Structure 1
Amino acid sequence: MAEPSITKRLVYHVGGYDPTEPRAVHQRFARELSRFRTTWSVTATLSEPVVQDDTASWQVATWGPNWRVETEYRLLRWDDVIKQAEHRPMWRRIPLALLAFADFVASGALWGYFRFNWRYAGFFLYPFVLFAMLAALAFVTGRLAGDAAGSVLVGWGVGLAAFALLMVWPARQFYLPLLFDDWIFSRGYIRGHEKLLEARLDRVARDLVTSARDSDVDEILVIGHSLGAVLAVDLVDRALPLDPALGKGRARLALASVGSSLLKIGLHGGATRFRAAVGRVASASQVFWAEYQALTDVMNFYKTNPVTAMGLAVPGRPVVRVARIRRMVLPARYRRMRRNFFKVHCQFVAGNDQRASYDYFMLLCGPLSVERQVSYADGAVSAINDDGALRESADVEPLVFEGTVEMSR
């Protein structure tokens, strides 16, 4: 029995809180695609990007000895939203960030982080602890200067100057402004303040539905990374009511949340609108939903079913899989990146050095459907020969989806 093969795929990618512009994203995509070519012994071509207000898109063609896939990749843009926040001065950013901190603590989100993944709780606390340490250092500096000069005014002046300098460096060195903006945005999203982004999600949802009707693709994949997983679920939830037949025809609909921050939002007591969206997407039988998590990534919730953690009764959704980043990259590269939490987190959307059960580019550009790849314990490893050919039949039987499943390779 031959492996079922995908020939055309439409991908909507929603990235995390990253201000990188589309053309830079395209350059990074091209670099990582070259890793994919080498690792899986395939050939690939990539078009130039077409950048629009809501999306940036490019065409990818990949093929092996007995298969070929054409992928249209559409990046949902929100780099402009992030860049707008970047221009916010620190004197405005700090009170908004402290308000976000108080909101997430009072809403029970922080307790939820400790309950489901204490490492994520540490990620939440990190920028605020860093800020408190820098503020304390500025205070001590001012106090010492004031005592030495015998003047309270000198102390205040030196302290404020020290604080301003610390907010430039080392605060920026340790990503404090970006992390503050991340949590400010998250609170704004929960409270319904991000109207520009919501309007964009509505437009892209209509585009998704129109493309599903008018194209001859075999599969539509909506994939969200980090905080982008929240927006990916939101996007699918907005698309489903526009066409009740979406995902039921030739073009199957798959949703992948990778290294996701679904519970970052979902555990907030005020996120009722988002939890309702998660419940609707999880209950939609025509949507195949897979959630990939990794232990070494502190910015996701390892071995936790996000739907269950939100208190939603939708058994078996999503299919939760564990990816092992150590097995995705070469040992020397892993030793270099393992203490860089951001690089580890971004490996979910990078090319692998080694064939592994989770491979971002195999999901986007491979001949197996997303559901088929998720159903194999080793992903596409047993389905692709050393020369890149698709085997007549895989060496492993599909798994039965029952919650979290360990990857075997």
Structure 2
Amino acid sequence: MPRNSATVARRRVFYIPGYDPIHPRRYRELYRKEGAAQAECSGYEITLSPRQGGERYGWNINALIDDIAVDASVDVLVWSDIVRDSMNTSIPATYWQLLRTAWVYMSTGALWRLMRLRKGPVIAALYPVGMLLGQAALAALLVVAVIAAAVLAGGGVAVQAGAAVLGLVAAWRLLRWFKAKDGKFFAYYLMHDYAFGAATRGANPPALETRISQFADAIADALSQDDIDEVLVVGHSSGAHLGVSVLADLLRAGRVPHDGPALGFLSLGQVVPMVSFLPEAYRLRADLAFLSRQHAIAWVDVTAPGDGCAFALCDPVAVSGVAPPDKVWPLVFSAAFTQTLSPERWRALRWRFFRLHFQYLCAFDRPGDYDYFRITAGPLTLADRYAGRKPSASRIEKPVNRFTATSR
């Protein structure tokens, strides 16, 4: 078994973002700002310093928590270039994605089964559909209004034809305006997100498989270092199911040394069922089943019912219908936003759905036993921190997935 010392002096953290086209520096700045806020609230010290060189973007952490000094190094495992490529589509292509994605989820029955788990993330998935159709409807009404104005003005066929052309130009500009302002609406962004998995009906595209292999190599290198006490992989949102596959590959290949650093996996705000419930997600379902019974890793899955974008308290292995008899992971519990955020803070964030989806990476002003900064920069391994911790009683483990095959 890997060494699992109660005291960690040096840690390597590998952070796998969700479907995010933004430069990874946003995660460094988020960690810097929120880490300082949590340290002030909780009475410990944590400082960041920039990474000097290296193959991957990241930063270094020096912390003094519970009077123990810890050095940590964070690497962001970047796949934002793959995300940007998938988002590089025209307006008509995005509407085609809408139709194709809706058909995949409805025709396979995945949509109805996902609704049996949590309605929040399904509503989040339907939001871009409704918003994009609403934008198209407004554009169509604009065309009709311009033509109607020409008719009411008594214009002839030529005038009406000109009005139709003018209306189409105006409608196209309106659609382009909506797309340009998508940083406020998130309709195109979310549509591309859900279309990414649906395009292959749950299988990983080749570019993503290559990146998963590269991520595995980076983590394997850290696991081979003698001066590291823990290697911690953090997967947020879509990054959670990528982390499952990366770690399953490492363990299958025997690349986790028996006498190496402790290995932990922290999945946050996971949306695993959005992919595992699709018919071609053989690879992900096999990885979920395999990872769930491995004793060489500690896997903790944290969500919160207040996060409407995540499948809160849904055991990703069990609900996917692939839980083996000897399943030991993940430990599923809630970050309990309504308890770990003060009433004032909760009121400020409650309707900011996208921001709440990132709350796992942020400070809590009434922290409970989940503290992202203690986990990533504190003196306990993930396994030790949650040893004996019971899963949330309200977790969902009932298998509802129609597609449970792990190979063709």
TM-score class normalised by the smaller sequence: 0.7 to 0.9
From 243, 262, 267, the counterpart of 2:272: 262
**Secondary structure of the residue that 1:214 maps to in structure 2?**
coil
Q: Give the Cα–Cα distance (whole angstroms) in 2 for the partners of residues 400 and 336 of structure 1.
A: 30
| Runs of 5+ unmatched residues, structure 1 | 376-397
Q: 1:330 to 1:247 in 2, by over 3 A?
A: farther
Structure 2 residue 186 is matched with structure 1 residue 175 = yes
2:14 aligned partner, one-letter code? Y
TM-score by length of 1: 0.85
Change (3 A) 1:405 1:6: farther
Asked whether 1:32 is paired with 2:41, we answer no
Which residue is equivalent to 2:171? 162
Q: 1:221, 1:253 within 8 Å by CA — same for their partners in 2?
A: yes
- Contact kept in structure 1, 2:12 and 2:230, CA below 8 Å: yes
The answer as to whether partners of 2:8 and 2:381 remain within 8 angstroms in 1 is yes
1:363 aligns with 2:364: no
Partner of residue 236 from structure 2, selected from 203, 206, 225: 225
Matched, 1:148 2:149: yes
The range that moved more, 13-22 or 221-230, is: 13-22
CA deviation digits over 1:306-354, x for unaligned, max 9? Answer: 1111111334421110111233334333222110101111101112233
Stretch of structure 1 that moved more, 170-179 or 359-368: 170-179
Contact 1:305 1:403 in 2 (8 A): no
Please, which moves more after superposition, 58-67 or 84-93? Answer: 84-93
One-letter amino acid of the counterpart of residue 227, structure 2 = D
Q: Which amino acid aligns with 1:202?
A: S
- Name the aligned partner's letter for residue 16 of structure 1: G
Matched residue type, 1:357: D
Task: Write the distance in 1 (CA, Å) between the matches of 2:185 and 2:88.
Answer: 18
Q: RMSD of the alignment, in Å?
A: 2.5
SS at match of 1:169: helix
Secondary structure of 2:32 counterpart = helix
How many angstroms does 1:237 deviate by? 1.6
Instruction: Tell me, in whole angstroms, the C-alpha distance in 2 between the residues paired with 1:212 and 1:45.
Output: 25
Deviations 1:206-226 (A, max 9, x none): 221122112322221111111
Q: 1:8 to 1:36 in 2, by over 3 A?
A: same
Structure 1 residues 7 and 52: CA distance shift in structure 2, 3 A: closer
* 1:200 and 2:202 aligned: no
1:30 counterpart letter in structure 2: R
In the TM superposition, 1:253-332 aligns within 5 A as: 253-314=263-324, 315-332=327-344
The 1:275–1:169 alpha-carbon spacing in structure 2 relative to 1, beyond 3 Å, is same
1:23 to 21, 25, 31: 25
Q: Which residue of 1 aligns with 2:84?
A: 83
Task: Determine helix, strand or coil for the equivalent of 2:356.
Answer: helix
Structure 2 counterpart of 1:238: 249
Asked if 2 retains the 8 angstrom alpha-carbon contact of 1:322 and 1:404, the reply is: no
State the distance in 2 between where 1:188 and 1:129 align: 19
Indicate conservation of the 8 Å contact 1:100/1:187, yes or no. Answer: yes
Q: TM-score, normalised by structure 2?
A: 0.85
Deviation at 1:186, TM superposition (A): 2.1
Q: Which runs of 5+ in 2 are unaligned?
A: 152-159, 397-408
Is the 1:305–1:404 Cα contact (8 Å) retained in structure 2?
A: no
Distance 1:178 1:300 in 2: 16
Q: Is the 8 A contact 2:293 2:328 kept in 1?
A: no
In the other structure, the counterpart of 1:379 is none
- Alpha-carbon offset, residue 296 of structure 1: 0.8
Question: Which residue, out of 324, 339, 350, partners 1:338?
Answer: 350
Shift in CA distance, 357/85, structure 1 to aligned 2, threshold 3 Å: same
Query: Residues 99-110 of structure 1 correspond to what in structure 2 (within 5 A)?
Result: 99-110=100-111
Counterpart for residue 99 of structure 2: 98
1:250 positional shift: 4.2
Q: CA deviation at 1:401?
A: 5.5
Read off the aligned partner of 1:281 and give its amino acid letter: L
In structure 2, distance between residues paired with 1:37 and 1:206? 33
> Which deviations, in whole Å up to 9, do the C-alpha atoms of 1:214-255 show, x marking residues without a partner?
2322221111111111111111122223325x1642412111
- Determine what percentage of the aligned residue pairs are the same residue: 24
Indicate conservation of the 8 Å contact 1:316/1:402, yes or no. no
Are residues 152 and 308 of structure 1, via their aligned partners in 2, closer, same or farther at CA, if it must alter by over 3 Å?
farther
1:67 corresponds in structure 2 to: 68
Return closer, same or farther for 1:167/1:180 CA change in 2, 3 Å cut-off: farther
C-alpha distance in 2, partners of 1:100/1:147? 35
Judge which range, 188-197 or 228-237, deviates more: 188-197
CA contact (8 A) 1:6 1:219 kept: yes
Shift of residue 275, structure 1, vs aligned partner: 0.7
Amino acid in the other structure paired with 1:169? F
| Distance of aligned partners of 1:247 and 1:327 in 2 relative to their CA distance in 1, 3 Å threshold | farther
Q: 1: CA distance between counterparts of 2:185 and 2:53?
A: 31
Residue 51 of structure 1 contacts residue 57 of structure 1 at CA under 8 Å; is this kept in 2?
Answer: no
Letter in 1 for 2:375: L
Equivalent pair of 1:46/1:59 in contact (CA under 8 Å): yes
Measured in 2, the distance between the counterparts of 1:316 and 1:102 equals: 36
Secondary structure class of the residue paired with 1:62: strand
Q: Is the 8 A contact 2:197 2:275 kept in 1?
A: yes
Deviations 1:193-212 (A, max 9, x none): 63223212202202211221
Q: Per the alignment, do residues 405 and 115 of structure 1 end up closer, same or farther by CA in structure 2, a change over 3 Å counting?
A: closer
1:184 offset after TM fit, Å?
A: 2.3
Structure 1 stretch 187-196 or stretch 71-80: which is displaced more?
Answer: 187-196
Shift of 1:189: 5.9
The aligned counterpart of 1:252 is 262
Partner of 2:111, secondary structure, is helix
